[in-house]
Structure 1
Amino acid sequence: MTVGAHPARPAPWPGIPPDVTGVTWRGTLDDDEAVRRLDEAVDAVDAPDVVFALSRHGRRTVRTGGTAPAPPVPRDQLRYEMGSASKTFTGLLLAHLTQTGRLSAGEPAAALLDPARRPGEDPVTLAHLITHTSGLPADFFVRALPAWRTNPYARYPAERVIDAFLRHRQRHRPGTRWHYSNFAVAVLGHAPTAATATPWDELLTGQVLDPLRLSGATLGPGGPDTDATGHRRDGTTPVPPLIVGGFQAAGAVRATPHDLLTFLEGHLDPADRSLTGALRAVRRPVLRRGLGHQHVHTVAWFQHPTQCGPMYFHGGATLGQQAFLGFRPDIGTALAAVCTRRFRAGDAFVPTAYTLLAEM
């Protein structure tokens, strides 16, 4: 599928690829060099808590730091909010459900959410929702403003999200424009829930988290002994744990850095694993956009070229935390980076993580 470029309005959980240029390949790092590079990355991020976790052919190196005193629980054992990086879990679930024949990516979402509804001439399909080509808006910005600094998505339970989708009037034919949309992926999460009569948390846990043995991953807040505490842009003011309401599929996942590496290692080597077919499927390009079609997307990841093969990645941010996930199958390398501060655009976290993975 090829669609025209349509810039998205900035979203609370940005997953847009960073504008990083001039990256050059440096070859394979030895262990000492990997530790040095990870420590440099940790030091470059001005946040209370920072973790950079690297896996190379199954060999892990995890480095931590931050501007705040070390918490009672080691930073690499805490759960961090994934924000939009949760969409990689949602994409994998959709791929698994389609691989096993339980759903079809071409099914109209409205027909699953309201079986009595006629889909119309150009229905929004599950494929449109996961690839951000549905024509739906990015978010409910205006309605969420009263709770913007606390928990804007808590105001939108599942019923409200579904009703808003079923009432929405399309401005563009689905499949013709790319527009990053938390709303679209939130809707996507409710479609398989309706089709399987299984709540989202049970569906994702049973079909993705448990089979991949992600024992530290959850879909809701725990407490100070298990979850990292996010901070505002000043790096000192704490923010409450994120409550996503009906936007679970777009941003509910919390996970430890070690679970994130396990998740990424499954993508590096899908053979003889649970979800093998789905893990392979989410690496296939399904959409190209932009001048020269340089922006490549799969159903779960952004894909950029490197000198050694493609690099897959996705970022995410909540009101007080940020995350970056990426992997490079050709060199058996994956990177999970998290921090407890919400940055302004152009700050160091995402460029540092992206460049580190690109230079491996």
Structure 2
Amino acid sequence: MTTRTHPARPAPWPEEPDELLDVTDPLPSDSPATPDDEALRRRLDAAVDAVDAPDVVFALSRHGRRTLRTGGTAPPPPVPRHQLRYELGSASKTFTGLLLAHLTRTGALSAGLPAAALLDPAGRSDGDPVTLAHLITHTAGLPALPADFFVRGLPVWHTNPYARYPAERVVDAFLRHRPRHRPGTRWHYSNFGVAVLGHALAAATGTPWDALLTGQVLRPLGLGGTALGPGGPDTDATGHRKDGTTPVPPLAVGGFQAAGAVRADPHDLLTFLEAHLDPSGRPLADALRAVRRPVLRRGIGHRHVHTVAWFQHPTEHGPMYFHGGATLGQQAFLGFRPATGTALAALCTRRFRARDTFVATAYALLAEL
């Protein structure tokens, strides 16, 4: 995602304010495939073929009917691709945004709480404090990463730079940072800010991050195939560098858990997205509705719309919500369109260069369906 800075106009915060086909079909199991089913499979196969990566998964849900297609340039792994967990990178922020919305909707905390007061109760207070809402909407005035992140991560830049920046350094860097702009007035995409948010939420609730997200989001939504740390070759996909052949080690996020720690299999991701499509009667229903509401507009003509968890773009048939993510060796794209009952989780095991066929292919597919 871009890290350019733009004027921001916050809107009201919603707290008050080739190898596999797998279809989960709510119709009788002997229902024959329709021409529409075949056309959809061909479109998904074309999307898989367009992505030049060792492993590719496109998982689609339309009105509760799931279709998964997989492929890739590498031989099929011992564990089928659709059963593996994939690193979501920045798409993890959609889980963090949902958690914050849930905590605010249930009254556990307010999004207007100053983060520094939660992380350092004895510290000095600022006249314009950075709040939890600022952190999740990338308007806290923080850079993409702490100033000393690059120096500390340089020795392992091509393997695991985040691992050299633990939680205490993230918190200390935030408490020492002095924003150049008043919080809430500029948008600047920040892994740093969302990482700080995770530590602030843990401090506010007295619960470690892993336990907090698991207990408040993953378990209630039934996401048993989702994890917050590496597993092993029997559970996790192996990422690759930009050449598409050199494997990279599993991501270690250090103190950036809330910004990029989530790993999930395609079925869990569809469950997560389907909950956003139709929150009615589901756990976290109020929060799922809240994260669909715009809270910030930015850019020329305020055309760029954000919720607390998603980027939102207009389409002919209502808004499309999406978020991408990348680690050193994998990429993910999550999106959904409530008006058409469509959700897409796209995953691959390669880190692409600037011209990103993966994101372009996934975005176009979701926008068309």
TM-score of the two chains, using structure 1 as the length reference: 0.92
Give the corresponding residue for 2:266.
Answer: 257
CA distance in 2, matches of 1:300, 1:276: 15
Q: CA deviation at 1:126?
A: 0.3
- The DSSP-based 3-state class of the residue aligned with 2:314 is strand
Q: CA deviation at 1:353?
A: 0.0
User: Out of 57, 73, 79, which is 2:79 matched to?
Assistant: 73
In structure 2, runs of 5+ residues without a counterpart are 7-34
Correspondence 1:142 to 2:150? yes
Aligned residue runs from structure 1 range 342-357, under 5 A: 342-357=351-366
Give the corresponding residue for 1:179.
Answer: 188
- The DSSP-based 3-state class of the residue aligned with 2:133 is helix
Give the corresponding residue for 2:299.
Answer: 290
Correspondence 1:129 to 2:138? no
Q: Which fold has the larger relative contact order, with Cα–Cα distance below 8 Å and residues 6 or more apart in sequence? A: 1
Correspondence 1:83 to 2:89? yes
Q: CA deviation at 1:250?
A: 0.1
CA distance in 2, matches of 1:118, 1:6: 28
Correspondence 1:31 to 2:30? no
Give the corresponding residue for 1:266.
Answer: 275
CA distance in 1, matches of 2:327, 2:142: 21
Correspondence 1:325 to 2:331? no
Q: CA deviation at 1:156?
A: 1.1
CA deviation digits over 1:202-229, x for unaligned, max 9? Answer: 0000000000000000000000000000
Q: Which amino acid aligns with 2:38?
A: D
What is the aligned residue count? Answer: 336
Segments of 4+ moved more than 2 angstroms: 140-146
CA distance in 1, matches of 2:231, 2:70: 21
Give the corresponding residue for 1:207.
Answer: 216
Q: CA deviation at 1:139?
A: 1.1
Q: CA deviation at 1:6?
A: 1.2
Give the corresponding residue for 1:45.
Answer: 51
- The DSSP-based 3-state class of the residue aligned with 1:306 is coil
CA distance in 1, matches of 2:162, 2:208: 18
Q: CA deviation at 1:93?
A: 0.2
Q: Which amino acid aligns with 1:233?
A: K
CA deviation digits over 1:30-63, x for unaligned, max 9? Answer: 2111101100000000000000000000000000
Aligned residue runs from structure 1 range 304-319, under 5 A: 304-319=313-328
Q: CA deviation at 1:142?
A: 2.2
User: Out of 112, 115, 118, which is 2:121 matched to?
Assistant: 115
Q: CA deviation at 1:146?
A: 2.2
